[in-house]
């Protein structure tokens, strides 16, 4: 009976270690990333096949492979040399990390309030593009993220919602800042 308990504990320990490593690999390599394509030296949006990694938790060196790339299907047969960038620094090419660095210390372009931490789910700040249209950063293709951020300003969630309402439903908006002359004419 004691041997059976010992075997059960060992099996549970191995299962817990396996699950823990699988979850860690999946967590590390999930999410959209921006890399520099070695072929054309331009940004590309990629996803690592994190499920593949998680399914193989005891491989010494994880064998990264892409599950998608913004240059596919035209260049789907590439050698995936960009994976070296991800292996060298998995967090630095993650879209969320790039955005956190971009928003750090910035204030809303409309109301001036600090943007703050972007890790809170739900009310995420947005990006005010050069044409003064605000978009959620999840709507920006990863391969266009660097050029978009270079020409954009940060905007808080509240101002983004107001901007979106004015743009999509102007008939519902009352502008209380208009002058008396503009109301009569």
**Average pLDDT in the chain:** 84
Q: Which residues of 152-185 are buried (b: 16+ CB within 10 A; e: fewer)?
A: bbbbbbebbebbeeeeeeeeeeeeeeeeeeeeee
How confident is the model at residue 185, as a pLDDT? 46
Instruction: Note the pLDDT tens digit of each residue in 59-95.
Output: 666 688 899 999 998 888 888 999 999 989 989 999 9
Per-residue pLDDT of the chain (185 residues; tens, 9 = 90+): 777 787 778 777 777 776 777 777 777 788 899 999 999 999 999 999 887 776 765 666 668 889 999 999 888 888 899 999 998 998 999 998 999 999 999 999 999 999 988 865 667 899 999 888 999 988 999 999 999 999 999 999 999 999 899 888 888 878 776 555 544 54
pLDDT at 183 (0 to 100)? 47
Please tell me the pTM assigned to this model.
0.75
- Contacts (Cβ under 8 Å, ≥6 apart) of 97: 91
Q: Are 96 and 34 in contact (CB under 8 A)?
A: no
| CA-only gyration radius of the chain, Å | 23
Distance between CA atoms of residues 56 and 129, nearest Å: 42
Q: Put the strands of the sheet holding 43-48 in their side by side order.
A: 32-36, 43-48, 66-69
Q: What is the reported pLDDT for 2?
A: 74
pLDDT for res 58:
63
Phi-psi region of 132 (alpha: psi -120 to 50; beta: other; left: phi over 0): left
Q: Is 145 exposed, middle or buried (0-12, 13-18, 19+ CB in 10 A)?
A: buried
């Amino acid at each position: 009976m004691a041997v059976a308990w010992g075997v059960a504990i060992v099996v549970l320990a191995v299962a817990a270690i396996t699950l823990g490593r699988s979850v860690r690999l999946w967590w590390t390599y999930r999410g959209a990333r921006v890399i520099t394509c070695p072929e054309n030296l331009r940004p590309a949006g990629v996803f690592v096949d994190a499920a593949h990694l998680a399914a193989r938790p005891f491989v010494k060196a994880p064998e990264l492979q892409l599950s998608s790339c913004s240059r596919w299907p035209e260049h789907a047969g590439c050698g995936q040399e960009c994976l070296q960038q991800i292996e060298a620094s998995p967090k630095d090419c993650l879209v969320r990390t790039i955005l956190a660095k971009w928003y750090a210390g910035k204030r809303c372009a409309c109301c001036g309030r600090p943007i703050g931490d972007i890790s809170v789910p739900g009310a995420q700040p947005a990006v005010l593009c050069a044409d003064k249209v605000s978009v959620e950063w999840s709507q920006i293709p990863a391969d266009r993220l660097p050029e978009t951020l270079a020409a954009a300003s940060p905007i808080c969630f509240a101002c983004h919602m107001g901007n979106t309402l004015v743009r999509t439903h102007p008939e519902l908006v009352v502008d209380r800042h208009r002058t008396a002359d503009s109301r009569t004419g």
